Structure 1
């Protein structure tokens, strides 16, 4: 059996200000760096065979912090980069609604997967780039792996691993610095834990990280 720990990166200033965040390579905020330390401490005694990461520094910083405890190299995967949010990068929710009303209506409608971000990707585009990785994880040899990535990317990857429609991404949330655990046995995935933030709650009172359009 394989175990996958899907780790969403910690807070950035964009997250704290509730601004859209896709491919902008912004660093972790001071709070985010503390979250990275807590994540690394959580995994320090967990047997891990591999650490995969988005190339963006906010995810890579956490991946490296975890990998260092196990003397592992980080396997940087470009397909784990966040959704390209195009012209909504850095905008607040109010600014997105004002500047792109047609997009916002479609995005909040019944079929968000097919709706491209203005000048960027759709969730369907993201799903296509993640398909080879999902297939690799489902069919690969048994191992324990940490996968450090982003909000939309991880939610779409969960949908693919479970074999459910991409539009189901709205049925669950993955908070900043959260861990979602998925087991894979005989090519079938099952959720062991979803959006776990227990490692954040007591040490630094970080249980309620800011929302973000995308991370």
Structure 2
């Protein structure tokens, strides 16, 4: 494959309110829709051949706007779903940080401290292997000439970035990307991802 780009979905009302979304299916707000349209000009120069997203509405809407404007195909993958944030979904980081003790603060600094978020069905290690496996499959499906864009979610993207850079999860917070503009991942081969999987 050519270049693999990761881009966070555009904004929802919960993003603007700083609420944790997780698997809660929130659509893009008007600001997010306009943001996606503005991003198209930047994407045009990347020569994207295909777009992938999770099935969550905010991911699909972002991918649809991009795919329509760029006239490229897109598809959804369950493996690109955001982490299951359990009881924290709908709450703000500020609310969760104010709790004593705050499991959220322990988690955001290093998810290994709270590997299974209260009420979640997927622990952080399983989530990291899931996203790596999904990216590996996408990588193998596309030929060497194709540049691919993956619309991804905040926390699952950080897990992926940590794994691909060989970083322990105490780097999780620093690897969170807030921008919705694409980030180029310099992945040399599927063997690199397979090695990351074997280390998780």
TM bin, normalised by shorter chain, reads 0.7 to 0.9
**CA 66–105 in structure 1, closer or farther in 2 if over 3 Å, else same:** closer
Aligned to 2:119: 119
Post-superposition CA distance 1:130-183 (Å, at most 9, x none): 231233355563221000011011122222333333443223331142321113
**CA contact under 8 A between 1:2 and 1:184: conserved in structure 2?**
no
**CA contact under 8 A between 1:162 and 1:188: conserved in structure 2?**
no
User: Equivalences for 1:79-158 in 2 at 5 Å?
Assistant: 79-97=79-97, 101=101, 103-104=103-104, 106-108=106-108, 110=110, 112=112, 115-120=115-120, 121-137=122-138, 141-142=143-144, 143-158=146-161
Greater strand share, structure number: 1
Return the offset for 1:188: 7.2
In structure 1, C-alpha distance between the alignment counterparts of 2:110 and 2:158, rounded to whole Å: 17
Greater helix share, structure number: 2
More displaced stretch, 76-85 vs 62-71: 62-71
In structure 1, C-alpha distance between the alignment counterparts of 2:187 and 2:154, rounded to whole Å: 21
Structure 1 residue runs without a partner (length 5+): 190-215
Using the size of structure 2 for normalisation, the TM-score is 0.81
**CA 2–21 in structure 1, closer or farther in 2 if over 3 Å, else same:** same
Aligned residue pairs, count: 189
Structure 2 residue runs without a partner (length 5+): 193-200
Root-mean-square deviation (Å): 2.5
Return the offset for 1:76: 0.5
Post-superposition CA distance 1:84-138 (Å, at most 9, x none): 1011111122432456835235325555365211111332221121231233355
Using the size of structure 1 for normalisation, the TM-score is 0.76
Aligned to 2:184: 181
